[in-house]
Amino acid sequence: MKNKQPTLVIKVGGRFFDELLEQSEHKHPLLHAIKQLQTSGARVVLVHGGGDQVQAQLKALNLQSDKINGLRVTPLHHMPVVAGVLSGYLNKTLVAQAGGLGLSGVGLSLADGDMTRCTPISEALGAVGEPHPNSAVLLNALLAQGMLPIVASIGADDSGQLYNVNADHGAICVAQLLDAQLYLLSDVSGVLDASRQKLPHLSAQTAQQLIVDGVITDGMMVKVRAAQEAADALQQAVTIGSWNDVAALSTGNNSFGTQILPATTT
């Protein structure tokens, strides 16, 4: 039976952590918004990446890091660094900051509770995995107790190999597990058109044209394609927005972000 409480999966990336630490004394506005959402009865899962921090640590260790179509090439010998930054320092920093606001954060990875199983995306990308939904038991148990699962984008396959997972893909997988509303947040208000104006909604056809025209590129291209896949799989709109516009998020304001519509939407 579908849970009657609204369930939200919120994803943030590396730049969020810069703001999180800058505003640590008063806590980031997103954490306040999550607390308000929980108070109103919503179940919230927070999924995070941390590409900027991973890149900085790899550089400090003189490890070359490249990207292909917005995805970080991750040789196996990079995984101790990648997993350490994402599932270690960043995850526990976010748990600690949430706790400082009275939120009961629980730090996890995509491998915990067997919630996902990964398969490699391509040989060229190395240990970069595509996550597949597997079990919602752990997440539902934590949510039932009013906890805030905070999930780092590190997964594993059937043999126990760790994988670096694009955090957008990880958040989509969690949203599929929980049949949840999905919010992919960054420091951009939404998807911008050629005039740098936010689009309130975006169809699959228009998104593809903007990619062909070079308006949507790099990380946003990965995000839009991932959101489109999620919208099609969930058969509901997926929101791309900014963690700095959280007042609209916590009040359910329809002006928040860009709604990525399922391909079947006319």
Query: How deeply is 205 buried, as exposed, middle or buried, from its count of CB atoms within 10 A (0-12, 13-18, 19+)?
Result: exposed
pLDDT at 186: 84
Query: Right CATH number for 7-265 from 3.30.230.10, 3.40.1160.10, 3.30.2270.10, 1.10.940.10?
Result: 3.40.1160.10
Distance CA 40, CA 42 (A): 6
Active-site residue among 129, 223, 241, 245?
223
Active-site residue among 35, 107, 155, 168?
168
pLDDT at 253: 57
pTM of the model: 0.90
> Is residue 168 annotated as part of the catalytic site, yes or no?
yes
Name the binding residues for substrate: 50-51, 72, 164
Ranges of residues in the chain whose predicted pLDDT is under 50 = 1-2
94: CB partners within 8 A, 6+ apart:
17, 20, 46, 48, 105, 107, 150
pLDDT at 1: 39
Query: How deeply is 208 buried, as exposed, middle or buried, from its count of CB atoms within 10 A (0-12, 13-18, 19+)?
Result: middle
> Is residue 11 annotated as part of the catalytic site, yes or no?
yes
pLDDT at 237: 92
Q: Where are the domains of the chain?
A: 7-265
pLDDT at 150: 98
Active-site residue among 13, 14, 49, 190?
14
pLDDT at 201: 92
Distance CA 73, CA 53 (A): 15
Q: What percent of the chain has a predicted confidence (pLDDT) above 70?
A: 95
pLDDT at 103: 96
